[in-house]
Amino acid sequence: MRRRALVLVALGVCLSAGAGAQVVNWPTENPPRPLPSRPVSFPPYELRTLPNGMQVIVVMHHEQPEVTMRILVRGGAAYDPPGKAGTAALVGSLLHQGTTTRTAQAIADAIDSIGGALDSGAGGDHSSATVLVMKDSFDVGMDMLADVVRRPAFAPEEIERQRRQTAQSLDVSLEDPGFIAGAVMNRLIYGFHPYGFPDSGMPETIARITREDLREFHRRYFAPNNSILAIVGDVTADEAMAAAARVFGDWPRQAVQPPTLPDPPKPTRRIVVIDKPESVQTAVRIGQLAIPRKTPEYMNFDQAIRILGGEGSNRLFRVLRSERGLTYSASADMNTMLLAGDVVAETDTRTEATGEAVRVIVDEFTRLQRERVGDAELAGAQAYMTGSFPLTIETPGAIARQVVNAVFYDLSLDELRTYRQRANAVTPDDVLRVARAYVQPDRLSIVMVGNAAAFKDQLAKAGFGSYELIPLSNLDLSAANLKKR
Amino acid sequence: MNQLLTVVAFVAALTVAPLDAAVRPPHLQYEIMTLPNGLTVVLSPDHSTPIVHVELWYHVGSKDEKTGRTGFAHLFEHMMFKGSKNVEPEEHASMLASIGGQSNAYTNDDATVFWQTLPSQYLPLVLWMEADRMATLRIDKATFENEREVVKEERRLRVDNQPFGRLSEILYDTFYTVSPYKHTTIGSMKDLDSASVEDVRDFHRSFYIPGNATMAIVGDFDMAQAKELETKYFARVPTSDRVIPREYAREKPSVAERRIIVNENWPLPAVIVAYPITYDGHPDSYPLHLTSKILSDGDSSRIYRSLVYEKQIALSAFGSGNIIEEPNLFFAVALVAPGRTHDEVEKALVAEFDKLRTEPITERELQRAKNQFFRDYIVDRESIRGKASQLAHAVVIHRDVTTADGEVEIFTNMKVSDLQRVAKTYFTPQNRLVLKILPKTAGSR
């Protein structure tokens, strides 16, 4: 007993000295030097175009006996017809729910029985279908991919099934604070631009979509000259190209006319509190309109936002989690799309800390725009970006994703090769310039989803006393004021 | 006419054609060694990209926690990033980030895993840092208290503030009386508040010792050099004579079906049907793995097809075995679709388990399940992280590294009768728990 107490005292002394080492003779030393490094460059890939205009990317990788094929069609939720948000998503989910030659059940049975996987869907800018098969089923997989992309049946009973599931899933999502906060933030940033609505649509817009709308969307945008096909894995380039020509070669080219869309509104400060009284935490999202993917300033702005809240740096994480213990995670992300983009900082914090967290995040946006980033901090962010480059080319899927991305957003393929040089070329002045050009701290929109009564007093103290309060049951994502009538 | 015939022919082909046997994953190449202090190391070179993945498994999880200290293994995992003799607090992650590496950790019921993927020339750095925190973790009261708040936020984020977030917690707490799996890894707020700095110190001394650790290194390294580095940095971590208790309470066999209803403020009612099963590596665990595939992998699997696609009584539904180190549960969950009743969902779920007992699955279903299993192995092995996890899991949970490849053979040899046998063993009415989680007030938000 006595001995134990003594040990504790000794340990206490040790702790106050700042170390709790249990091993007595452990050396004090500096980190070891690295071994010689191996040169690394972007791996080889093939990019060819079929006579009908389909772009085909092949990445060969022979270690594991599998092949993944993914087709990306230019046209997603942003091209939904007005008032019919959810059209692209419904088309996407229906691609593998029956074709003119196979039922939904036959497709499921065929892919599952060969130990494959098949999925399809839509994002804001694109629709897609992906098939994964073992090497010996490559041809079968290519046939299925072409079938679901070219010949979806849009059978009425499948439409109703997907429509019901989408609407019901959306109802569940509308109880999830993270989903609600993200959806409201998108509306504040993009207004009535299609990027402002959930890709899935909303209950009333999903209800309006007809079979003809789905067929029309498919007819308009699903064309070889509007598509990118990536074939990745245990095949040769010749095998892949031959298979692509076999299943897509007779798909006729057609003129594709994207719709004309309104510009998103200019940033304005709007603070919205969605009241969900049983919440034990507040979901906080703070953001504004920023830049689309294809912009000369992309790399500069990317680094600014990484310093604010990205991997390898992240001021928000440091202050909110490491220093104050207010959250499990805090980050800021650029979301850059074809037509526009945004930057959103997010965290989830206990109700009592809501005002403090919001203040910290807004202040960090401000600091980014007022203070020149230190050389060491910027060098750290760049070291992460350049150092992690070999991690981004580990799997054939990851390689293909980068090539597809470059082709999709019409970037120079050279950018894949020059990534590290471009990252290292950014200076503190560049970061300050883009932060001043694109960040407007007094126009940041703020969304909080939580127990409003418990944190409203904190908001006034933190300088955010003026806000719109909307009970969750009264939220309407379609309305300008976000409220049900 | 023509079209109809084609469909008929296709369906006929599906029902009669035997399936080809699957493509198998290629064997992993590795060496295994044990240092004199007890640390086990598995090394598997893969030179395709100049990166290396290092993961260190400590064989301690939430099932090893003391009464009144639920959530501690996970809370402790967080403390491992708070500095050691030569590494400042948070520096483990920031040093790795500064070389472009990625690192994190996770805790489950059986193990706590620290992982990092990094450019391969920095292998010495990561080994040095892992050894430093194994031997000399800093334990500081202020840091501990700050980190406890972080973990409480993690619990709020993932469990308390999420629709259906408490599902596992409710299931396991309801099902078990004495099992170490009665509580989930995140633990309770009350227990997190009770934890002390002395608990941290004791936990480190008890479990974070070389003999309780397994390291997997996969990627671009030279075998001889890696072994030398491993020895250089880890051999100096002293061995420990502490014996880790591995005796876990086991539940008494159930004598009758249990039916329980609880209320939660969730958007939809949920129905859970659960049965106790065996542990990972038991001969019965392999047919149970395949049964999970048959019930819930892909749109043609039984539970999805019946409840979601055909009857449309569930918004989502799945069933699978939680096959881990000690006996756990096989359970199915369905979210009741609006307008449908929890009774019809319960009937449909129970019917699926009954069917597995009373009727053999088809040869085609069996082959499909095997093919899906091999696919998972293969896809997982595309990354060095996936390979490392498979190897470390084999060593820590199966206590036999050869199972990383050897299980493929076991699955290949499974027969229809094996699946029916385990269904009859485990999916019996008296073993069953039917748990319904219903909204507190109908139609409320």
Domain B258-439, what architecture?
2-Layer Sandwich (3.30)
Identify the three-state secondary structure at position A129. Answer: strand
Does the A46-248 domain belong in CATH 3.30.830.10? Answer: yes
Sign of CA dihedral A201, A206, A211, A212: negative
Return the pLDDT at B311: 97
**A396 at the B interface (CB within 8 A)?**
yes
B-chain CB neighbours of A33 within 8 Å are: 124
Residue A395 and residue B382: Cβ atoms within 8 Å? yes
- For the cut 70, the answer to whether the pLDDT of residue B128 exceeds it is yes
Predicted structure pTM score: 0.93
pLDDT of residue B445: 35
Least CB–CB distance from A34: residue in B122, B301, B368? B122
Considering the segment(s) A271-474 as one domain, its CATH architecture is 2-Layer Sandwich (3.30)
**Which stretches does DSSP call E strand in B35-94?**
40-45, 51-58
Chain A: give the shortest CA distance to residue B258, in Å: 29
Higher-confidence position of A13 and B94: B94
Q: What is the per-residue pLDDT across A264-322, written as a single tens digit (0 to 9) for each?
A: 999 999 999 999 999 999 999 999 999 999 999 999 999 999 999 998 789 999 999 99
Q: What pLDDT is recorded for position A1?
A: 33
For all residues of chain B together, what is the average pLDDT?
Answer: 93
Assess whether the region B31-234 and the region B258-439 belong to the same CATH fold.
yes
Ordered by start, the domain boundaries in chain B are 31-234, 258-439
> Band of the pLDDT at B440, cuts 50, 70, 90?
confident
Asked if the Cβ–Cβ distance from B379 to A328 is below 8 Å, we say no
What pLDDT was estimated at residue A19?
38
Q: Is residue A435 helix, strand or coil?
A: helix
Average pLDDT over residues A4-21: 35
pLDDT digits (tens, 9 = 90+) for B131-158: 999 999 999 999 999 999 999 999 999 9
Q: Note whether A252 contacts B: Cβ–Cβ < 8 A.
A: no
| Span B375-404, pLDDT tens digits | 999 999 999 999 999 999 999 999 999 999
**Residues facing B107 on adjacent strands:** B112
- Which pLDDT band holds residue A24 (cuts at 50, 70, 90)? confident
Give pLDDT, residue B387. Answer: 97
Which residues does residue A273 pair with via DSSP β-bridges, in sequence order? A448, A469
CB contact under 8 A, A349 and B153: yes
ipTM of predicted assembly, 2 dp: 0.91
Q: Does A38 touch chain B (CB under 8 A)?
A: yes
The 10s digit of each residue's pLDDT in A369-425 is 999 999 999 999 999 999 999 999 999 889 999 999 999 999 999 999 999 999 999
For chain B, the straight-line distance linking the first and the last C-alpha, in angstroms and rounded, comes to 51
For residues A253-271, give the mean pLDDT.
94
Distance CA A405, CA A402 (A): 5
> Residue type for B94, please?
S
**Do residues B319 and B330 make contact, with C-beta atoms less than 8 angstroms apart?**
yes
Q: CB–CB of B423/B153 below 8 Å?
A: no
Please say if the pLDDT value at position A323 is more than 60. yes
CB contacts of B138 in chain A (<8 Å) are 18-21
* Contacts B371 to A, Cβ<8 Å: 113-115, 134
| pLDDT computed for residue A311 by the predictor | 84
Residue A15 confidence (pLDDT) above 60: no
Whether residues A102 and B10 touch (CB distance < 8 A) is answered with yes
pLDDT of residue B22: 67
Least Cα separation, residue A51 to chain B (angstroms): 30
Q: What is the dihedral of CA B14, B17, B20, B21, to 10 degrees?
A: 90
Proportion of chain A above pLDDT 90, given as a percent: 92
pLDDT in tens, B290-342: 999 999 999 999 999 999 999 999 999 999 999 999 999 999 999 999 999 99
CB pair distance less than 8 Å for A134 and B22: yes
**pLDDT tens by residue, A127-153:** 999 999 999 999 999 999 999 999 999
Residues 354-373 of A with CB under 8 A from B: none
Best-predicted range by mean pLDDT among A262-266, B19-23, B289-293? B289-293
**Inter-chain residue contact A280 with B160, CB threshold 8 Å:** yes
Cα of A427 vs its chain's centroid, Å: 27
Contact residues, chain A, for B236 at CB < 8 Å: 26
For chain A, the average pLDDT equals 93
CA distance A261 to chain B (A): 34
CATH superfamily of the domain spanning B31-234:
Metalloenzyme, LuxS/M16 peptidase-like (3.30.830.10)
The helix-helix angle for A138-150 and A237-248 (nearest 10°) equals 40
* Torsion angle (degrees, nearest 10) of CA B425, B427, B431, B433: 160
pLDDT category at B205 given cuts 50, 70, 90 is very high
Which residues make up the CATH 3.30.830.10 domain(s) of chain A? 46-248, 271-474
| Partner-chain contact A134 B378, CB within 8 Å | yes
Nearest to A195 by CA among A146, A129, A120, A123: A123
Residues of A in contact with B23 (CB under 8 A): 65-66, 115, 134-136
Residue window 84-103, chain A: list those with CB within 8 Å of chain B. 101-103
The type of residue at B411 is: F
Of A108, A135, A311, the CB nearest to B299: A108
More confident residue, A65 or A20: A65
